[in-house]
Chains A and B, each alone.
Chain A
Amino acid sequence: MEIVIIFTIFFYLMSTAGYFAYLFLQKNYLNRAGYFLLIAGFLCNSTAIFYAFLKSGQIPVHNLHETLVIVGWSIAGVFIIFQYKFNLRIFGIYAAPLAAIVMVFASQVSSEPVQIKNIVNNFWLIFHIISIFIGEASFVLAGGLGFMYLAQEHAIKTKKHGFFFRRLPSLELLDTAGYTCIVVGFTMLTIGLATGLVYAKMVWGKFWSWDPKEVWSGITWLLYAALLHGRLTVGWRGRKAAIMAIIGLAALLFTFFGVNFLLKGHHGEFTRL
């Protein structure tokens, strides 16, 4: 199975190289090469997950290794769909290396599965995991778009039109794309949290147990809810939306990793080394 992970990393790195070459040389075939290499990597990545699923009969999220493999997979997958829809070419320099780095980390941590008690493998759990990962990958992309928006806005405001100004798309496109990512992410996160609650009720007998993971997930959810609310009512867009997307990303990363490493809770096993 190691070999499939190595192929995945290889394709993601090649894709990264393609996107960076595109950044400098601006030749369209490089962008396409980056895209197809990423798809190739994604297929390898899917194979690895599917194999692990067949072997254990459960969604493979039983240790940090398996979790990171799914993180890389969802970033690549969401980005592939996103790129297909928006054709935001330069964005590959964010998503491809990110997927590659995550996979490299995944390959470096031990892959001994942790025995988890009290796991009931049912529809709610699978739904919970998949929608949470897709939602979080969307938020990761939204954060990246936020950075790009700020960079482009800075160039326009300060009237210093450098390397990135030429290559980055219009503010409007960055803003709409970021908004779309947040809407998708929020929808998936909501579904993920709801299914999680149902699952908790079924397995532990109560919806909410004030576990740190639950609390921080709730905080993240509220943050993105506020962002969307602001946009729909008073038109928080542009710079403000971009900054919020980045803050949201920070909260998300803390919820995902920070809570598990610093605080204790019932999701701890999934990121155990």
Chain B
Amino acid sequence: MLDIVLLGLNHKTAPVELRELLAFSKEEAVSVLGGLQKCPDINEVMLISTCNRVEVLLTTSNSISAVNSVKTYISEFKKIPISKFEEALYMHDGEEAVRHIFRVASSLDSMMVGEPQILGQIKDAYLTAILKKTSGVILNRLLHKTFFVAKRVRSETGIGDHAVSISYAAIELARKIFGNLEGKKVLLIGAGEMAELAVEHLIRNRTGEIFVANRTFERGVELSNRFKGKAIRIEEIPDCLKLVDIIISSTGSPNFVIVSNQVKGVMRSRRNRPIFFIDIAVPRDIDPDINRLNNTYVYDIDDLKGVIEENIKDRSRESIKGERIVDEAVIRFQQWFESLGAVPTIVALRNKIDSIAKTEINKTLQSLNHLSDNDCQAIYRMTNSLINKVLHDPTLFLKSNGCHGDRSAYIDLTRKLFKLDD
């Protein structure tokens, strides 16, 4: 009996050092697929490799030897002894393998639940498998269902809603204040990865002019070139407050860079247009008292972290709904998969033809009243042996190994040809 097997390791079972060693580039993935295809026990196969996981999904009629072939192949390919990664491996088969791939694609198994990249990565992996012709009837169906489930989870649950990174959380807040960020002016004070990331997100939201203030003016000029903005000196910040709407501060200064009175002074000339301070620095750059003024909003790093924590809690609540959608899909897939066995297909085929014959005999006999019971019996016998003769070769073919290991494709074809799935 054919089985679906998933073998892999992820961020929960393997440390990053090991994942790095085992990660496959796109080119490597192509040659791995080619190699695995040659293993006698593996019918269909695909390989998913991201920074958080390496997984091999395959169908086989001998799962133990298929799994061993994969382990050996990877160990030889990466020149790492099996013992080094065997501990971190997990293996799922049948229903559990289906559930696992559904959960992975829906981002329920991700390090950050709800992150959107994984679906694209699985699509790429599947595309590679298609190009290498290593996927067949079962994986094709499984992967199409996977994409469908992942989309459903994304659209029907809030699993991908609300930011879970500091810089995104800041952008979301800015949207709650300003609505549309288009044309809003931004001031970046200092530098730093998180602050620069936030500015990049803002630019993607088509904000207006970007000002950059830095303790060393040269560094400021450099940064402002990157953002196509304008460098200003630290002393110019108070004047700049009249213009800008969003301020991102991330300096190493031990004191506040902007104090309450400075902001109070400019609110009038701003005609009270709101102003939003994002303070990523520790110790803080922005006087927290500014938050008490009208139409000014200050979020420091702890506030943003608090927002993210709430969002993460929300996502895990939403993931329960996602699990339910996955469960439903697994049951439906299993129904289809089980129908792929040779015996149920042969039985279904026989039943269909029997019922056709029965209807036709009844129709015919109705107009042949002069026939005796014995004559009728003879007609029944003849029909039965006709059915047996006709179905003899297809039955043998479906039962035999003459399908060259790709029995599921022929069974699928048979079911479609005779419309057995209704």
B-binding residues in A (CB < 8 A): 152, 156-157, 159, 161, 165-166, 169-173, 234-240
Q: Is the CB–CB distance between A165 and B295 below 8 Å?
A: no
Task: Give the shortest distance, in Å, between B199 (CB) and chain A (any CB).
Answer: 20
Kindly list chain A residues whose C-beta atoms are within 8 Å of the C-beta of B215.
none
Kindly list chain B residues whose C-beta atoms are within 8 Å of the C-beta of A234.
268, 271-272
Kindly list chain A residues whose C-beta atoms are within 8 Å of the C-beta of B176.
152, 156, 165, 170-171
Cα(A237)–Cα(B270), bound, Å: 11
Task: Give the shortest distance, in Å, between A173 (CB) and chain B (any CB).
Answer: 5
Cα(A239)–Cα(B293), bound, Å: 11
Q: Is the CB–CB distance between A159 and B294 below 8 Å?
A: no
Number of A-B residue pairs at CB separation under 8 A: 53
Q: Is the CB–CB distance between A171 and B274 below 8 Å?
A: yes
Contact A172 to B272, CB < 8 A, known contacts A157-B291, A161-B307, A237-B295: no
Flag whether B173 is at the interface (Cβ < 8 A): yes
User: From B162, which residue of chain A is reached at the shortest CB distance?
Assistant: A166
Kindly list chain B residues whose C-beta atoms are within 8 Å of the C-beta of A156.
173, 176-177, 297
Contact A237 to B179, CB < 8 A, known contacts A159-B303, A161-B307: no
A-binding residues in B (CB < 8 A): 162, 173, 175-180, 268, 270-274, 291, 294-295, 297, 299, 303, 306-307, 310
User: From B272, which residue of chain A is reached at the shortest CB distance?
Assistant: A235
Kindly list chain A residues whose C-beta atoms are within 8 Å of the C-beta of B273.
235, 237
Report 30 cross-chain contacts, Cβ distance below 8 Å, ordered by A residue.
Answer: A152-B176, A156-B173, A156-B177, A156-B297, A157-B297, A159-B299, A161-B307, A166-B162, A169-B179, A170-B175, A170-B177, A170-B179, A171-B176, A171-B179, A171-B274, A172-B179, A173-B179, A234-B272, A235-B268, A235-B270, A236-B272, A237-B272, A237-B273, A237-B295, A238-B272, A238-B274, A238-B294, A239-B295, A240-B272, A240-B294
Task: Give the shortest distance, in Å, between A191 (CB) and chain B (any CB).
Answer: 28
Cα(A238)–Cα(B271), bound, Å: 11
Cα(A236)–Cα(B299), bound, Å: 24
User: From A173, which residue of chain B is reached at the shortest CB distance?
Assistant: B179
Task: Give the shortest distance, in Å, between A228 (CB) and chain B (any CB).
Answer: 14
Task: Give the shortest distance, in Å, between A251 (CB) and chain B (any CB).
Answer: 23
Kindly list chain A residues whose C-beta atoms are within 8 Å of the C-beta of B307.
159, 161
Task: Give the shortest distance, in Å, between B159 (CB) and chain A (any CB).
Answer: 14
Cα(A170)–Cα(B205), bound, Å: 16
Cα(A236)–Cα(B295), bound, Å: 10
User: From B184, which residue of chain A is reached at the shortest CB distance?
Assistant: A172
Kindly list chain A residues whose C-beta atoms are within 8 Å of the C-beta of B272.
234-238, 240
Cα(A172)–Cα(B176), bound, Å: 8
Kindly list chain A residues whose C-beta atoms are within 8 Å of the C-beta of B291.
157
User: From A235, which residue of chain B is reached at the shortest CB distance?
Assistant: B271
Cα(A132)–Cα(B310), bound, Å: 46
Cα(A237)–Cα(B273), bound, Å: 8
Kindly list chain A residues whose C-beta atoms are within 8 Å of the C-beta of B177.
156, 170-172
Which of B268, B274, B303 has the largest count of A CB atoms less than 10 A from its CB? B274
Kindly list chain A residues whose C-beta atoms are within 8 Å of the C-beta of B270.
235
Cα(A232)–Cα(B393), bound, Å: 90
Cα(A66)–Cα(B303), bound, Å: 53
Cα(A159)–Cα(B180), bound, Å: 21
Q: Is the CB–CB distance between A239 and B271 below 8 Å?
A: no
User: From B174, which residue of chain A is reached at the shortest CB distance?
Assistant: A170
Kindly list chain A residues whose C-beta atoms are within 8 Å of the C-beta of B180.
172
User: From B292, which residue of chain A is reached at the shortest CB distance?
Assistant: A157
Kindly list chain A residues whose C-beta atoms are within 8 Å of the C-beta of B294.
238-240
User: From B173, which residue of chain A is reached at the shortest CB distance?
Assistant: A156
User: From A238, which residue of chain B is reached at the shortest CB distance?
Assistant: B295
Cα(A156)–Cα(B273), bound, Å: 16
Task: Give the shortest distance, in Å, between B311 (CB) and chain A (any CB).
Answer: 9
